[in-house]
Structure 1
Amino acid sequence: MVPKLRVARPTDQLAAVVRFYRDGLGLQELGSFTGHNGFDGVMLGQPQAPYHLEFTSRPGQLVGRAPTTDHLLVFYLPDRLEWQTAVDRLLAHGYPSVPADNPYWDKLGLTFEDPDGYRVVLQQAAWSY
Structure 2
Amino acid sequence: MVPKLRVARPTDQLAAVLRFYRDGLGLVELASFVAHNGFDGVMLGHPNAPYHLEFTHQPGHEVGRAPTADNLLVFYLPDAAEWQAAVQRLRAAGFAPVASYNPYWDQLGVTFEDPDGYRVVLQQTAWEL
TM-score normalised to structure 2 length: 0.99
Q: 1:30: Cα distance to partner?
A: 0.2
Find the aligned partners of 1:85 and 1:9 in 2 and give their Cα distance: 26
Find the aligned partners of 2:99 and 2:3 in 1 and give their Cα distance: 33
Find the aligned partners of 2:93 and 2:60 in 1 and give their Cα distance: 29
- Partner AA of 1:109 in structure 2: G
Is 1:109 paired with 2:109?
Answer: yes
Find the aligned partners of 1:2 and 1:82 in 2 and give their Cα distance: 25
- Partner AA of 2:32 in structure 1: S
Unaligned residue ranges in structure 2 (runs of 5+):
none
Deviation track 1:13-67 (CA, whole Å, cap 9, x = no partner) reads 0000000000000000000000100000000000000000000000110000000
The match for 2:67 is: 67
Find the aligned partners of 2:59 and 2:88 in 1 and give their Cα distance: 34
Find the aligned partners of 1:2 and 1:75 in 2 and give their Cα distance: 19
TM-score normalised to structure 1 length: 0.99
The match for 1:99 is: 99
Number of paired residues?
Answer: 129
Moved over 6 A (4+): none
CA-atom RMSD in angstroms: 0.4
The match for 2:39 is: 39
Mapping 1:47-66, distance limit 5 Å: 47-66=47-66
Is 1:21 paired with 2:21?
Answer: yes
Q: 1:2: Cα distance to partner?
A: 1.4
- Partner AA of 1:117 in structure 2: G
- Partner AA of 2:15 in structure 1: A
